[in-house]
A and B are shown apart, each in its own frame.
Chain A
Amino acid sequence: MSQDLRIALTKGRLQDKSVELFEAMGLDCSPIKDPGRRLIHKVPNYPLEAVLAKAPDVITYVEHGVCDLGIVGKDTILEHGKSFYEVLDLGFGKCRFALAVKKGSDFYGTYKTRRVASKYPNVTRAFFEKKGMDVDIIKIEGSVELAPILDLADGIVDIVETGVTLRENGLVPIEDVAQVSARLIVNTASMKLHKAQIEDFIGRCEAELAKRREQA
């Protein structure tokens, strides 16, 4: 019964922060930090193994149940999320999801249909649908800031970390779409079938998060 739980971690910044969290929880993360050529990394002192994946893939793996758990940003969940349990806000990887427009422009003050560029077309659509507003959405893969500069779009919906990039490109955030941070997600069937193991893991996460909040 006590098969190892498998967790998918989002590569990059969230991965480092996740490892930091795990180590604070007392998990030995040396195999994750020094992955070599292996793709599945076993935690030696806890029944857990980790895989590293791009953010949308974390969701895919968890939804299909090939990973029991995942750590992924709320931005990705809003864009791709479907059916899993989103159990914890891990408190790291914080940033804002915002609508930004060219400095001095009046985004809302016109009857003309606005055009918005984003890496997150679904989030953008949901945001404007809620306002009852029709907008043209353009999916951009790279530097979204370029779209308004080239007059391709009137505004962008994107992640804002420091706001420096926006400022340097003459854009200002005018409205928050959502607050983003890393989340712990759980496959619905795993939650039920491996309740004790998953609750133990969630409990350890919660204990560490509570400790952090106290220190803050």
Chain B
Amino acid sequence: MTYTINTPEGTRDRLFAECRDRRSTQTALTDLFYRRGYAEVSTPEVEFYDLFLRSGSPLPQESMLKIIDRSGKIMVMRPDCTAPIARVAATKLKTLPLPQRLYYAETVFRSGDQHRGGSSEIAQCGVELIGAAGKKADLEIVAMAVDALRSCGLARFHIELGHAGFFRSLADRMDLEEDQVEELRSLIEGKNFAALGDFLEPYQDRPATAALLRLSRLFGGAEVLDEAEALAGENEAIAYLRELYEALCGAGYGKYLRFDLGLVHQIDYYTGVVFRGYVEGAGDAVLSGGRYDSLVASFGRSAPATGFAVDVDAVAACRPGTEAPRVGTLIHFAESELDRALTAVDGRAAGTCELSPCETLEETLALARRKGAGRVLVLDPDGERTVEV
């Protein structure tokens, strides 16, 4: 085996339509972000491993691609963009007034498991709203999550809202050890209905048991908020979600919104509203985000923040693919006629016409046949003519 003509597992060459679909999806997203006042930032592809350790990154270390630099320090190919941007916000942007609205279109790297068909290079577009707490900031970001998928031309999708505080408030009332809380959390995250029942069996008398038992099933429309309140009593997180929902409904976003109160992933990282986007045709969430008020502080500047990232390739795969243009015309031109030849190419639809590099018309005609082009435009000093192939 030599490693000269294959790409490493998890990577691939992207050709033609794949590039165009990725680019047009990126453009749809970044146009929206830019229009809403977000400014682009770009951080290094390689960062110190410590950065992601410091940020309390929920990614396990084995999923980061590592490099040892010349001095022996451990670097990683960035596995996400939020931690580096939090670093930037806490350092380089220290003198700028908050809030700062930032967006990025980058590749993140994660080493997936072998033979699972996953990609190690993930194109992400995302936004971070740094230095803004409260409902209006959350409304802005959730509305933009909906608009992000809408701007990509998707119709059948949901943005699903949860709140990190709901699980936490229930867990606090249970008086459990920390590792038990983690087990409970992971059962709810995995919607492990049966095992959750077994786990809670010995705690029947605790105040939040009934609500926790139902938690993994509390997903769907706004009715789950009523059910959650019926089970858990008055709850700040639920009341807050309801306020958000009503405001978003008022702005016409209601039909895209769902809830999953069992959305309890990365509970130490997220501090408030969390959300995910699901699209018909994608096997996993294509958009993921939430409020993370303590991340920026871990780099030395206290600033509440919220944001989300879109998996560009997953979204691109759900959009109707664009038809690749076919070359219909070759231009056979005399060297003195370069300007006319270029004008002719520029005047036609992109990708439908190209210059022939051949010396003789016979060679150009042969090339046209190989390429399946129907016409050759011949440009001489005396004039022009079209030859049908």
Please indicate whether A and B come from the same complex rather than being unrelated chains. Answer: yes
**Residue B138 interfacial (CB < 8 Å):** no
**Is A88 touching B219 in the complex (CB atoms < 8 A)?**
no
Question: Chain B residues with Cβ under 8 A from A84's Cβ?
Answer: 190
Identify the stretch in A29-37, A39-47, A184-192 within 8 Å (CB) of chain B at 4 or more residues. A184-192
**Residue B258 interfacial (CB < 8 Å):** yes
**Is B283 touching A187 in the complex (CB atoms < 8 A)?**
yes
Query: Given A186-B191, A191-B191, A192-B160, does the pair A83, B284 have CB atoms closer than 8 Å?
Result: yes
CA distance A45 to B158 in the complex (A): 30
**Is A66 touching B283 in the complex (CB atoms < 8 A)?**
yes
Query: Given A193-B158, A195-B219, does the pair A89, B195 have CB atoms closer than 8 Å?
Result: yes
A166-209 CB mask vs B (1 if < 8 Å, else 0) is: 00000000000000000000111111110100000010000000
* A91 closest partner in B (C-beta): B194
How many residues on B have C-beta within 8 angstroms of the other chain's C-beta atoms?
A: 23
**Is A65 touching B284 in the complex (CB atoms < 8 A)?**
yes
**Is A65 touching B194 in the complex (CB atoms < 8 A)?**
no
**Residue A103 interfacial (CB < 8 Å):** no
Question: Chain B residues with Cβ under 8 A from A186's Cβ?
Answer: 191
Question: Chain A residues with Cβ under 8 A from B192's Cβ?
Answer: 85-87
Q: Which of B156, B158, B283 contacts A65 (CB 8 A)?
A: B283
B278-297 CB mask vs A (1 if < 8 Å, else 0) is: 11101111000000000000
**Is B158 touching A85 in the complex (CB atoms < 8 A)?**
no
Looking at the assembled complex, report how far the CB atom of A46 sits from the nearest CB atom of chain B, in whole angstroms: 21
**Residue A60 interfacial (CB < 8 Å):** yes
Question: Chain B residues with Cβ under 8 A from A66's Cβ?
Answer: 283
**Residue A82 interfacial (CB < 8 Å):** yes
**Residue B14 interfacial (CB < 8 Å):** no
* B217 closest partner in A (C-beta): A199
**Residue B201 interfacial (CB < 8 Å):** no
CA distance A137 to B116 in the complex (A): 22
* B198 closest partner in A (C-beta): A89
CA distance A84 to B193 in the complex (A): 13
**Is B194 touching A189 in the complex (CB atoms < 8 A)?**
no
When A and B form their complex, what is the total count of cross-chain residue pairs whose Cβ atoms lie within 8 Å?
A: 56
Query: Given A85-B190, A85-B191, A89-B195, does the pair A189, B282 have CB atoms closer than 8 Å?
Result: yes
Question: Chain A residues with Cβ under 8 A from B279's Cβ?
Answer: 189
CA distance A60 to B118 in the complex (A): 11
Chain B, range 253-290, C-beta contacts under 8 Å to A: 258, 260, 278-280, 282-285
Question: Chain A residues with Cβ under 8 A from B191's Cβ?
Answer: 85-87, 186, 191
Question: Chain B residues with Cβ under 8 A from A158's Cβ?
Answer: none
Query: Given A66-B283, A187-B283, does the pair A192, B193 have CB atoms closer than 8 Å?
Result: no
**Is A60 touching B116 in the complex (CB atoms < 8 A)?**
yes
**Residue A139 interfacial (CB < 8 Å):** no
**Is B282 touching A82 in the complex (CB atoms < 8 A)?**
no
B169-206 CB mask vs A (1 if < 8 Å, else 0) is: 00000000000000000000011111100000000000
Q: Which of B117, B190, B193, B280 contacts A193 (CB 8 A)?
A: B280
Question: Chain B residues with Cβ under 8 A from A85's Cβ?
Answer: 190-192
Looking at the assembled complex, report how far the CB atom of B310 sits from the nearest CB atom of chain A, in whole angstroms: 15
Looking at the assembled complex, report how far the CB atom of B300 sits from the nearest CB atom of chain A, in whole angstroms: 34
**Residue B113 interfacial (CB < 8 Å):** yes
Question: Chain B residues with Cβ under 8 A from A189's Cβ?
Answer: 278-279, 282-285
**Residue A154 interfacial (CB < 8 Å):** no
**Residue A145 interfacial (CB < 8 Å):** no
A47-89 CB mask vs B (1 if < 8 Å, else 0) is: 0000000000000100111100000000000000011111111
* A195 closest partner in B (C-beta): B220
CA distance A167 to B191 in the complex (A): 38
* B160 closest partner in A (C-beta): A192
Looking at the assembled complex, report how far the CB atom of B224 sits from the nearest CB atom of chain A, in whole angstroms: 11
CA distance A64 to B283 in the complex (A): 5
Looking at the assembled complex, report how far the CB atom of A208 sits from the nearest CB atom of chain B, in whole angstroms: 14
CA distance A202 to B190 in the complex (A): 15
Looking at the assembled complex, report how far the CB atom of B63 sits from the nearest CB atom of chain A, in whole angstroms: 11
Question: Chain A residues with Cβ under 8 A from B284's Cβ?
Answer: 65, 83, 188-189
Question: Chain B residues with Cβ under 8 A from A190's Cβ?
Answer: 283
CA distance A82 to B158 in the complex (A): 23
Question: Chain A residues with Cβ under 8 A from B160's Cβ?
Answer: 192
Looking at the assembled complex, report how far the CB atom of B196 sits from the nearest CB atom of chain A, in whole angstroms: 10
Chain B, range 147-169, C-beta contacts under 8 Å to A: 156, 158, 160
Q: List 19 A-B contacts (CB under 8 A).
A: A60-B117, A63-B283, A65-B282, A65-B284, A82-B113, A84-B190, A87-B191, A87-B192, A87-B193, A87-B194, A89-B194, A188-B283, A188-B284, A189-B283, A190-B283, A192-B158, A192-B278, A193-B158, A202-B193
Point out residues on B near A: beta carbons under 8 Å. 113, 116-117, 156, 158, 160, 190-195, 219-220, 258, 260, 278-280, 282-285
- Interface contacts beyond A193-B158, A195-B220: sample of 16 additional A-B pairs, CB < 8 Å, sorted by A: A60-B117, A63-B283, A66-B283, A82-B113, A85-B192, A86-B191, A86-B192, A187-B283, A188-B283, A188-B285, A189-B282, A189-B283, A189-B284, A189-B285, A191-B219, A192-B158
